[in-house]
Amino acid sequence: MLVVVRRHELSDAEWAVLSRFLPSSGTAGRPRSDDRVVLNGIVWKLRTGSAWRDVPERYG
């Protein structure tokens, strides 16, 4: 299976390292968004230097 990683997104290896440091989803409160999608949005913003309002909608 071919997996395409976009230029400014976390690779599977990077995600494997980072995901260990994130808390698990709890049952109380508002449901969390997909952590990887949100982190990819943050990485995109930091790597491109764009304004937050310009972050693509696909990152939530």
Q: Could you read off the pLDDT of 11-57 as tens digits, one per residue? A: 889 999 999 998 887 777 888 888 999 999 999 999 899 999 999 99
pLDDT at residue 7, rounded to an integer = 78
Q: How many domains does one find in the chain?
A: 1
Is residue 3, in this structure, part of any structural domain at all? no
pTM tops 0.85: no
pLDDT at residue 36, rounded to an integer = 92
pLDDT at residue 5, rounded to an integer = 59
Long-range contacts for 42-49 (Cβ within 8 Å, ≥24 apart)? 43/8, 43/9, 43/10, 44/8, 44/9, 47/8, 48/8
pLDDT at residue 40, rounded to an integer = 93
Is residue 51, in this structure, part of any structural domain at all? yes
Please tell me whether residue 40 adopts helix, strand or coil conformation: helix
Instruction: Tell which residue, 10, 17, 11, has the closest CA to residue 41.
Output: 10
Contacts with 35 (C-beta within 8 Å, 6 or more apart), sequence order:
19, 22
Is residue 59, in this structure, part of any structural domain at all? yes
